[in-house]
Structure 1
Amino acid sequence: MPSRQEIIDVSKFFKVISDPTRLTILFLLRKESLNVTEIVNYVEMEQSAVSHQLRILRESRLVKSERQGKTVRYQLLDEHVFDILDQVLDHIRE
C-alpha cells in the first residue's frame, strides 16, 4: 500500500497530465525539443498561456528548459511518463 504522501503525489501527477494542452505539449516534446514559438504554432494558443503550461510542466519535473543563445528550448525531463500514457492510449484504443 502506498503511503498517504505517495497517494497525494500520484494524484497531483495525474492532475498535471489531465490538462489537454499540457498533454499535447508532452506529446510534441516526445518527438523533439521545441521553443515556445514552435509550441504556440502547434497548439494555437497565446504565448503567455503556453508559457504558463510549460511552467507547470517544469515544476512537475516533466519538462526542462535549456537556453540556446537567445532562445529557450524545452524538452522532456523524464520519458517514463510515456510508459503510463502509452498504456492509457492502448486501453482507449481497445
Structure 2
Amino acid sequence: MNVCAEKCIHEANVNKTVKDLPDQKEIVKMAEIFKALSDPSRLKIVLALLNREHCVCDIAVICQQSESAISHQLRVLRTLKIVKNKRVGKSVYYTLDDDHVMSLIHYSLDHVKH
C-alpha cells in the first residue's frame, strides 16, 4: 500500500501549501473549466478552434453535429470564457478566448501524446 507507515504531519510544509492554494471561488471556477472541457463534444470544438477561427456552420461540419447542438455547446464555452465570438455580417465566428486556454489545451494534448 502506498501510504505513510507512520502518521506524521510536516506542519511547515502543510501551512505553506495551504497559504499557496487559490481561494475557494477560484478553485470552483477552475473545476467548472475542467468540467466543461471534460465533455468530448466541447473539447472537440475547442480543438477545432486551436489554430483558426470558425463560424458555427463550419464547426457543425467539423464536429458532425447540428448547428443547434454546436450553438448550445458554444454558449457553455463562452460563459466560461473559453471561447469568444465576433459577428461578421450574418455569420458569427468563434476563437479561443486567450492564450491561457490555448496553453491549457496544448499542455493537455502534449501530455496525452507523451
Q: Is TM > 0.5 for Structure 1 vs Structure 2?
A: yes
Alignment equivalent of 1:62, drawn from 69, 72, 82: 82
1:30/1:79 contact within 8 Å kept: no
Q: Please state if 1:83 is matched with 2:103.
A: yes
Q: Does 1:39 align with 2:59?
A: yes
Q: Which runs of 5+ in 2 are unaligned?
A: 1-20
Is 1:12 matched up with 2:35?
Answer: no
Instruction: Give, in whole Å, the separation in 2 of the partners of 1:8 and 1:2.
Output: 10
Identical pairs, percent:
39
TM-score, normalised relative to structure 1: 0.90
Letter of the 1:68 partner, please give it: V
Distance in 1 separating the partners of 2:47 and 2:32:
19
User: Hey, which bits of structure 1, 4+ residues long, moved more than 3 A?
Assistant: none
Quick one: which amino acid aligns to residue 30 of structure 1? L
Question: Is there any run of 5+ residues in structure 1 with no aligned partner, and where?
Answer: none
Aligned to 1:74: 94
For residue 79 of structure 1, report the CA deviation from its aligned partner: 2.5
Pairwise CA RMSD: 1.3
Question: 1:42 is matched by which residue type in structure 2?
Answer: I
Letter in 2 for 1:39: I
Instruction: Tell me which moved more, 25-34 or 46-55.
Output: 25-34
**Relative contact order higher in (CA < 8 Å, ≥ 6 apart):** 1
TM-score by length of 2: 0.75
The one-letter code matched in structure 2 to 1:46 is S
